[in-house]
A and B are shown apart, each in its own frame.
Chain A
Amino acid sequence: MLSFTLRRLTLAVPTLLIISLLVFLLLDAAPGDPMSQVPLTIPPEVRAQMREALGLGAPAYVQFGLWLKQMFWIEPQVLIDQIFGTSLAADKLRVLSWQTRAPVMDMVAERLPQTLWVVGSAYLIGISIGLPVGILSAYRQYSALDRTGTFVTLVVYSVPPFVTGPLLIGVFAVHLGWVPSVYDTTHRVTDWQSFSVQLRQMILPIAVLALPTAAQLSRYMRASMLDTLPLDYIRTARAKGMPEHIVVLRHALRNSMIPVVTVIALGAPAMFGGAIITEQIFAINGIGAQLIGALQVGDLPTVQTLTFLFAGLIVLANLIADVLYGWLDPRIRYD
């Protein structure tokens, strides 16, 4: 299992490198001058020096190499420094934002927890709603539950997050006034009271992301269970006198999970895309909001780093899915 995981991990490295190169080339090919916002009174030679200071004079491969070095060599050192109090990365140049002149990763470290909290809990809730609904509607195919479930999931699945967001705000925040419409990221959980406030402000953003996930997963779970339930080994298990819940939840579910795990992993890009929209709707200052802010002012180092981070999170989700395959179906480990 360990060697299988390691093999998958080594495959993820070139993928990430190619993605960061693609993003870099895209940004490099983009027209537009980072100096265009600078006042015209600044003389051309100062302007040239400013370009030089931003590292824009160097050829593309030098810039990309520098970014790689800063991202994969200096940033880990900074991380080690912060954990162990060493000074490996002292005075070394980190990836700097053009907008604030601060290290990009420091800002990301402040914002990433918000995004991961919302996306992570939305994923967990989506899975814990979607799977039972899918299993039940497959087990009782054509029952009232199955019919309503199939229809409701289709409707929920086809409503995009930027429609559900305003809709839920309109109903629950504006009309009923049960929950706040804006997510307050400065809120600190200290006692029971503040915890309930935190819970209430998380409900809407998480619901916006979790509902389509739950809908999609339940549809795939149902389809996959419907494929598994009529198979011979299920009948064998029943014939042996296994209790019904063991047959369904252990024998059938494990084999039905494989396509569902694929869907969970392939849903990661959509999930992070949804998170960008959700952060915009509920004013959460996560990395999605940071990306949009950086794009609007043309802060290319931040855009490059954040896009790479999104890619990294997606590759990580795929990696987890690969490892789960190996656990669900041991035959996959030896391909």
Chain B
Amino acid sequence: MTRPALPLSRPAGATRGGRAKNGAVFGAGIFVLIVLAVYLGPLIWRVDPPYLDLLARNAPPSPAHPLGTDELGRDMLARLMAGGRVSISVGLAAMAISVGLGAAIGLLAGFYRHLDGPLMRLTDLFLALPLLPLLLVMVTLFRDSLTQLVGPEAGLFALIVGAIGVTSWMQTARIVRGDVLALKERDFITAARSGGARDIRVITRHVLPNVLSPIIVSATLGVANAIILESALSFLGLGFPPDFPTWGRLLADATLYLQDYPGRAFWPGLAITLTGLSVIYIGDGVRDQLDPRTRARL
């Protein structure tokens, strides 16, 4: 698409692409930093997150507790790192499910004409679902039985990850389907078919690599989305149990003491926001690099 120059626009090209790339590098840098901090941080800061320092309850930041302590004297820095490990693992696992489902449904709907109608109706139906209420319903009702089955932590992890995964694949499916529909008519697909390739081979070797860029973008956004949803569940008190810190749970606990210790809500809030923001920057940058048409738009 050629764009005639607008009177008010600058010449298109290098600067815009460069900025998007900078944004992606910046986002990736922040994200890697957060991941390193929560996974490798405990090697340096060796305080046990559930350890109760009862003499230093509600302590302000000090060398002994760099971010202070909570109402039971637990070290906030250690809890923030432990919570981050849970939040980020939930984000990655739920993203894997939602992107896998979305890509599979999008590929099938785009590739097979007779599956297109039913699968897209299903997608529309899911888009009309009240997601947060449904997530709340699923997590509350199935919590006890799964907990008995595989233990409290593994059970809730599987439940929350699964619930978020099966309710957030729709955007990926729509985007992938649109791209597959356009790709299917291209000559190299016809060439592969005339070469005798089976459907499965055409899909995996010829179609899939060409729709990887929207899948990667959805994947990055999916991580942010899942972290925020999990935090929302924990914030409403229906996520992980209280002694199992996640960023959302830490934030929810801190809001109870907002009047007296406003600083305690700041760090988990910042962590959630920074992770989301960095991931959005990565997604934007990846999209701009892979698809120059949408450069510097959203």
Contacts and interface: CB of A to CB of B under 8 A. Distances in A.
Interface stretch (A60-68, A70-78, A84-92, A218-226): A218-226
Interface hub of B130, B141, B262 (most chain A Cβ within 10 A): B130
A107 interface: no
Contacts of B262: 170, 174-175
Interface in B241-278: 248, 251-252, 254-255, 258-259, 262, 265, 269, 272-273, 276-277
A223 B8 contact: no
A166 B258 contact: yes
Interface stretch (B35-43, B111-119, B121-129, B176-184): B121-129
Contact of A163 (B134, B140, B258, B273): B273
B272 to A, nearest CB: 6
B232 A307 contact: no
B177 to A, nearest CB: 16
A138 to B, nearest CB: 10
A26 interface: yes
Given A307-B133, A311-B129, A314-B128, A163 B141 contact: no
A19 B122 CA distance: 11
Contact of A307 (B137, B142, B145, B277): B137
A123 interface: no
B97 interface: no
Interface stretch (A95-103, A139-147, A326-334): A139-147
Interface stretch (A111-119, A124-132, A291-299): A291-299
Size range of the chain A interface in the assembly: 35 or more
Contacts of A291: 133, 136
B236 A160 contact: no
A196 B289 CA distance: 51
B132 A269 contact: yes
A273 B231 CA distance: 13
B238 interface: yes
Contact of A167 (B235, B259, B269): B269
Given A140-B8, A158-B224, A166-B255, A223 B137 contact: no
B8 A276 contact: no
Contacts of A269: 127-132
A32 interface: yes
A165 B269 CA distance: 11
Contact of B141 (A31, A160, A223, A229): A31
A27 interface: yes
B130 A307 contact: yes
Nearest to A18: B125
Contacts of B236: 276-277, 280, 292
A160 B228 contact: yes
A158 B269 CA distance: 11
A151 B180 CA distance: 33
A169 interface: yes
Contacts of B224: 158
Contacts of A32: 141, 144-145
Given A141-B9, A159-B273, A296 B138 contact: no
A170 B263 CA distance: 10
Contacts of A258: none
A163 B125 contact: no
A307 B298 contact: no
B3 interface: yes
Lowest 3 CB-CB distances: which A-B pairs, in order?
A273-B132, A30-B141, A310-B130
Interface of A: 15, 18-19, 22-23, 26-27, 30-32, 139-143, 154-155, 157-160, 162-163, 165-167, 169-170, 174-175, 219-220, 222-223, 226, 229-230, 235, 266, 269-270, 272-273, 276-277, 280-281, 291-292, 295-296, 298, 303, 306-307, 310-311, 313-315, 318
